[in-house]
Amino acid sequence: MTKSYFFSFLLFLSFLSACSGSVRTDTVDFTQGFTDGNSKVWMVEKTISPDGAVSIKQSLQQEVIVFYQTGNCLLTNLQKLASGNGVHGKMEFDHEKHYVTLNFPHEKREFEFEFTNENQLILYPLEGSDYTNAMELIPFPEFR
């Protein structure tokens, strides 16, 4: 191999290592999407049972889930929200798989989540979850 080919080969190798050596791959953290950096109230717009039946509750009985930046969550309805009554739990994420687990005292809800846009979050139940319905969530609306 001549010197020019040898140097060209070394230059090519150094170029390859420079391109791939500094590439950082970070896992996306979806916590911000759930909490907006502090806490966020999501209303359950509708639930879909495994057989496809869609359920929409009346406004004051409509379920809400509050996700907190601390990893806590609150499952309640609109009527009880002001007093903070409801079921308190913890949330855990698997950001790579888009999974969220809501651990309540007597129930473990495991979902695959999808943000269709910033105003809609869909939770699909995972096999083995204590809760079997899919849920479509929307942020608590701004009233004027």
- Would residue 22 count as lying in a domain? no
Residues β-bridged to residue 138: 43
88 within 8 A of 71, measured Cβ to Cβ: no
Task: State residue 45's pLDDT score.
Answer: 93
Q: What percent of the chain has pLDDT over 70?
A: 81
Amino acid at 83: S
Please provide the size of the chain in residues.
144
Q: What is the pTM of this model?
A: 0.77
pLDDT greater than 90 at residue 144? no
The kind and range of the H/E element at 119 are none
Q: Is the residue at 17 inside a domain?
A: no
| Residue 46 forms part of a structural domain | yes
pLDDT in tens, 3-35: 566 556 655 656 555 555 556 666 677 888 888
pLDDT at 56 over 90: no
Whether 107 is covered by a domain: the verdict is: yes
8 Å CB contact between 133 and 49: yes
Angle at alpha carbon of residue 76, lines to 52 and 119, rounded to 5°: 60
Average pLDDT, the chain: 85
Dihedral over alpha carbons 24, 100, 73, 81 (to 10 degrees)? 120
Would 116 be classed as within a structural domain? yes
Give the domain range for residue 112: 31-139
Rounded CA-CA distance 25/130 in Å is 34
Whether 99 has a pLDDT exceeding 90, the answer reads: yes
Tens of pLDDT along 109-132?
999 999 998 889 999 999 999 999
Q: pLDDT grade, residue 2 (50/70/90)?
A: low
Domain count, the chain: 1
